[in-house]
Amino acid sequence: MNRIARLASRAGRRTMQAGERIAGSTLDLMRRGERTVITTPSTGLRLGNLLYVWLQAHRRTRAGAPTLAREARAMAPWLTAFPELSALTIAPGGVRFSDRRTWDDAWLYQRFGVDFTADDLAAFVRETLASHVVPDRTETLVINVRRGDYYAEFASKYAFDQAGYLAATLDRLAPAERALVVSDDADWCRTNLDSVIRMRADEVEYARPDPLANFLAVAGAARIIGTNSTFTYWAAYVAGVIHANAEVVMPRFHARMAHGTDAHQLDPRWTIIDGFH
């Protein structure tokens, strides 16, 4: 699909979703069921975004307001990898007319300290994700670099100086015997980041691209350098639960948005690096 066709497809989805929201708002006046369904978009969200939806369902249910996330196609492999998430998920065909509907189209339930607390996050991680993650005890420094569409069709929104950011970050950290680079573009990292990393690590390895294995590798690490990706944020959230003193560094920059560029997903316990955008 060429770029024009992709943009047209997205515009069509947005129009359809807007229509669904208007119709849903009218019907919500008639819905008085005890259960709420988060109306996850059928397409467009990946693991990091989906985990915020599941977290919201878990947080509300734990507070006494039963809530489920409507199943989307992209959830399938993650429901297999983390089966505990199934208890927070409902197939579209299982949604009742009486179920209340909700969806946060502005923030996607991602504001740390607003949409969820550190305690909400820890409880969710412990009950759904942590048992599937093997904690790394080798002090390997794991560097997660998001490339892909962030540096192609969405570059104007998400791209930033990753090499400059990484160099500044490594200057702040103690040297590592081993560094593991986890990325969706390992070749770019080898060409552009390898020499910078080798100044602070004796051994540098590159993980094979595999979404689940990559997530588990970052989530199990006690030392993490991340980039502006919800995938990275979530892996670091998990690491912070399974390691008592996880060392996490993230850029303050997330994306060029109407409300600014700062990431609202950041855990205040992390080390945050300014600039480079």
Residue 32's pLDDT band (cuts 50, 70, 90): confident
Alpha helices, DSSP H, located in 96-178: 118-128, 155-158, 162-172
Structural domain range at position 121? 31-130
pLDDT, tens digit, for every residue of 183-220? 999 999 999 999 999 999 999 999 999 999 999 999 99
Same-domain pairing of 166 and 254: yes
Asked if residue 140 lies in contact with residue 223, where contact means CB atoms within 8 angstroms, the answer is: yes
Copy the structure tokens of residue 168: 């500044």
Same-domain pairing of 189 and 219: yes
Is 115 a member of any domain?
yes
Asked if residue 86 lies in contact with residue 58, where contact means CB atoms within 8 angstroms, the answer is: no
Give me the pLDDT at residue 149, please. Answer: 95
Residue 20's pLDDT band (cuts 50, 70, 90): low
> Which CATH number does the domain housing residue 226 bear?
3.40.50
17 pLDDT exceeds 70? Answer: no
87 pLDDT exceeds 70? Answer: yes
Q: What is the mean pLDDT of residues 238-257?
A: 97
8 pLDDT exceeds 70? Answer: no
Q: Name, in order, each residue with C-beta under 8 angstroms of 20's C-beta and a sequence gap of 6 or more.
A: 39
State which of 101, 130, 159 marks the end of a domain: 130
Give me the pLDDT at residue 212, please. Answer: 98
Mean pLDDT over the full length of the chain: 92
Overall domain count for the chain: 2
Share of residues in the chain with pLDDT > 70 (%): 89
Give me the pLDDT at residue 33, please. Answer: 80
Three-state DSSP class for 49? helix
State the Cα angle at 144 between 255 and 248, rounded to 5°: 85
Q: Which residues face 142 on adjacent strands?
A: 180, 224
Q: What is the mean pLDDT of residues 128-140?
A: 97
pLDDT, tens digit, for every residue of 139-152? 999 999 999 999 99
Copy the structure tokens of residue 111: 């504001």
38 pLDDT exceeds 70? Answer: yes
Query: Residue 207, exposed/middle/buried by CB under 10 A (0-12, 13-18, 19+)?
Result: middle
Same-domain pairing of 111 and 156: no
CB 270: neighbour CB atoms within 10 A?
A: 18
Can you tell me the distance from the alpha carbon of 179 to that of 197, in angstroms, rounded to the nearest whole number? 8
Same-domain pairing of 152 and 124: no
